[in-house]
Structures are given as C-alpha cells and as structure tokens.
Copies of this chain bind each other. A is one copy, B any other.
Amino acid sequence: MVSPTAFFLSMAQSDTRNPQHSFTEMNELVLPNDTNTLNNLMGGKLLHWMDICAAIAAQKHSNRIVVTASVDSVSFKETIRLGDVVTLSAYVTRSFNTSMEVFIEVHAQNIPTGEKIKSNEAYYTFVALDSRNRPVKVPTIEPQTDLENEKFAGALRRRQIRLILAGKMKPEDAQELKNLFV
C-alpha cells in the first residue's frame, strides 16, 4: 500500500524538472537547397531547424506532443555558408501551466578553417497537447545554475511582451517593462 506521504513525494517529483533534462543538441550540414544563389543559408531554413530543435526540447520536458505558440524576434547578424556545420542547442527555461519557453542558441562552424561563430539565439514557446489536441498541464522548471535562474526570472518579462504584442495585455499594466523605458 502507498502511504499519503509517498504519494505526495512522487507527485512532486513528476511535476518538476531541471532545464538540463530537456537539453537537446542538433547538428546540421548546410546543403545546396538550404542556400540562395550566393551560397548563404536562407533564414527560413534556420528558423525551421530552430523550431524542430526547440520542439524536441519541449517534448522531452513534457512527454507530450507540442505545437509552436510563438517565436520572439530573431535577428540574423552572421552569414552562414554552404558546407558549414550548424550546431543548435535548446532547453526549457520556464513553464506556464500548459506552455513552455525554450531558449535556443545557434553556432556555425566553417570546416576547412575551423572557425566557429555564434550566429543567433531565440526564444520559442510551445503548448503541450493531449491525444485529442487539447492543451494539457506540463511539469514546472526548477533552475539549478546562475544562468538557468536568470533565464527563469527573465521568462516572466518576455511573457509580458508576448501578451502585449498579442493584444492580450495593456502596455501600462506591464510594470517590469515600463521600468525599461522610463
């Protein structure tokens, strides 16, 4: 027989996970069809890879099928070239009931020179679905390192921006954001 205490502990364990649990790395070779006629990787292809890598992280965290809810703004400062190796790494920074924020970093390496650059970073959010396509609760995040704590805290502020941009929150109600501008 399972005692009430044991049951409580087991629930607590299954409801909370480390960011590291969802860590996911992908490596991709830039092939001809991924580039424009000047041999530069097209941004849309990279956004596609980032979505797959981030979605796998969110699936590892939640053990659920996930759908993309939003992507925050992404800028492409560095040129990635045909034949480069693109390394993507992602982990869940925080969860909000049925949704998860995933942080993702992208590096690109030129093989003959060995030079490796950081090309991008971005935040994707996902919603977990059950087998009937309905949103379902996901485990919470317990950050372990300084960086994970910083990402965890910042997730609230980034969520306010998303709610404002989606028209679901008034700018004047977003106190943390107001501090940025005044």
Chain A 143-182, CB within 8 Å of chain B: the 1/0 string? 0000000000000000001100110000110100110111
Instruction: Tell me what chain A mostly uses at the interface: helix, strand, loop, or mixed.
Output: mixed
Chain B residues near A3: list those with CB within 8 A. none
Tell me the residues in window 45-76 of chain A with beta carbons closer than 8 Å to chain B beta carbons: 45, 47-53, 55-56, 59-60, 63-76
Residues of A participating in the B interface, judged by any CB pair closer than 8 Å: 24-29, 31-33, 35-38, 40, 42-45, 47-53, 55-56, 59-60, 63-77, 79, 82-83, 85, 109, 111-114, 124, 129, 131, 133, 161-162, 165-166, 171-172, 174, 177-178, 180-182
Q: Which residue of B lies closest to A37 (CB)?
A: B83
Docked Cα-Cα span, A161 to B36, in Å, equals 28
Docked Cα-Cα span, A112 to B62, in Å, equals 8
Q: Which residue of B lies closest to A58 (CB)?
A: B111
Partner among B26, B75, B162, B182 whose Cβ is within 8 Å of the Cβ of A166? B75
Check A63 against B114 for contact (C-beta < 8 Å): yes
Check B43 against A44 for contact (C-beta < 8 Å): no
